[in-house]
Each structure stands twice: as structure tokens, then as C-alpha cells.
Amino acid sequence: ELKVEQNPLFLSMQEGKNYTIYCNYSTTSDRLYWYRQDPGKSLESLFVLLSNGAVKQEGRLMASLDTKARLSTLHITAAVHDLSATYFCGAPGGSRLTFGEGTQLTVNP
């Protein structure tokens, strides 16, 4: 059974700081997805990582994938309040996506 683990689960950071969220998954996969969820809202697709070494950047967020290590990272650069949300990574297995527990990010002024 595919297991996906994220850490940290809770992250409180100050505006302007940098931090990295980690996503480990238990089986071989050449793809990994990152989603953002605002409170009471749906999941919004952020990044699609389709191969080993893939790196995608959007604004202050950058995601990478190392399929050999079964690890993906979501790096936050110079955080701003608008980035406060819960971030989920999802790994495919069969026809499903299995999600991590989510990282609840709070960016404080």
C-alpha cells in the first residue's frame, strides 16, 4: 500500500523567511503532485512533477522531485501572508492519488 508522509504537519513562519516542506512516498513513482487548500475550500493544483529531477517554480514556491529518493520538496522563498494555506502532496498508485496528511502553513506578519 502506498504511503505518503509530509513534514512538518504544522509550520508557522514569519513573512520574508524561507522554508521547505518535505514529502516522502513509499513506492516507485515517476510523478508527484502538489495541491493547495484554503480553509473550507477545494484542492487547487499547484505543481505537476513528471520525472526525476523535475523542478517547477511559480512565484515564491518551487517544487522538485527526486524519484530515486522518493522525495519531493516544496520550497517557500520570502514567505508572504497570502501563502497561508494547507499544502498536500499526492503520489499516484494505480488509478488513484494518495495524499499526505498536509502541511498547514501560517505566515505571520
User: Looking at 13-21, 61-69, 77-85, 87-95, which segment touches other proteins (CB under 8 A)?
Assistant: 87-95
Strand locations in the chain (E): 4-7, 10-14, 19-25, 32-37, 43-49, 55-58, 61-66, 71-76, 85-93, 96-99, 103-108
Q: Is 103 in the site for other proteins (CB under 8 A)?
A: no
Q: Is 3 in the site for other proteins (CB under 8 A)?
A: no
R_g over Cα of the chain? 13
Interaction pattern, residues 44-83, with other proteins; x per rule: CB under 8 A:
xx--x-----------------------------------
Residues near other proteins (CB under 8 A): 31, 33, 35, 41-45, 48, 88, 90, 92-102
